[in-house]
Amino acid sequence: MSQVVLQTVSQKLPILPAKVRALLQALEEPARYTTAELASMVAACGNLEAVLVNMLNSGFFRTRRKVRSAQDAFLLIGFNATRSVILGAVLKGLFPPREIVRNFDRELFLRHCIGTALASEMLAEKAGLSSELNRYRMSTYGFTHDIGTLALDYCLPVTLSRIYAHARSAGVTILQAERHILGELNHGIIGELVCRIWQLPADITNVVAYHHAPRQAKSDRTAVTVLYVGDNISWNYYEKLLSDQGLRYPMEKSVLAELGLSQADAVQIEEALPQQVDQAMRLLTLEAVDFSMLA
Q: H/E element holding 202?
A: helix 202-210
pLDDT bucket at 238, cuts 50 / 70 / 90: very high
With a cut of 90, say whether residue 62 has pLDDT above it: no
Q: What is the chain's mean pLDDT, rounded? A: 91
- pTM beyond 0.85: the answer is yes
pLDDT tens readout for residues 195-214: 999 999 999 999 999 999 99
**44 φ, ψ (degrees, to nearest 5):** -80, -5
CA separation for the pair 128, 192 (Å, rounded): 29
pLDDT bucket at 289, cuts 50 / 70 / 90: confident
With a cut of 60, say whether residue 158 has pLDDT above it: yes
In which region does residue 92 sit, left (phi positive, over 0), alpha (psi from -120 to 50) or beta (all else)? alpha
* Choice between 282 and 34, residue whose per-residue pLDDT is larger: 34
CA separation for the pair 248, 236 (Å, rounded): 5
CA distances, 232 to each of 97, 211, 239 (Å) = 25, 10, 11
DSSP class of residue 288 equals: P
* Choice between 17 and 228, residue whose per-residue pLDDT is larger: 228
Lowest-pLDDT choice from 36-40, 93-97, 182-186, 188-192: 93-97
* Choice between 71 and 286, residue whose per-residue pLDDT is larger: 71
pLDDT bucket at 99, cuts 50 / 70 / 90: low
pLDDT bucket at 120, cuts 50 / 70 / 90: very high
* pLDDT over 70 percentage in the chain: 95
Residue 144's pLDDT is what? 92
pLDDT bucket at 1, cuts 50 / 70 / 90: low
With a cut of 80, say whether residue 102 has pLDDT above it: no
CA separation for the pair 144, 92 (Å, rounded): 8
Query: Per-residue pLDDT averaged across 16-21, rounded?
Result: 90
Query: Per-residue pLDDT averaged across 86-99, rounded?
Result: 80
With a cut of 70, say whether residue 165 has pLDDT above it: yes
Residue 294's pLDDT is what? 64
CATH of the domain at 273: 1.10.3210.10
Question: Is the distance from CB of 102 to CB of 162 less than 8 angstroms?
Answer: no
Domain tally for the chain? 1
Residue 101's pLDDT is what? 64
Return the closest-CA partner of residue 187 out of 135, 213, 151, 149: 149
Give the range of the structural domain holding residue 108, as residue numbers without chain letter: 2-293
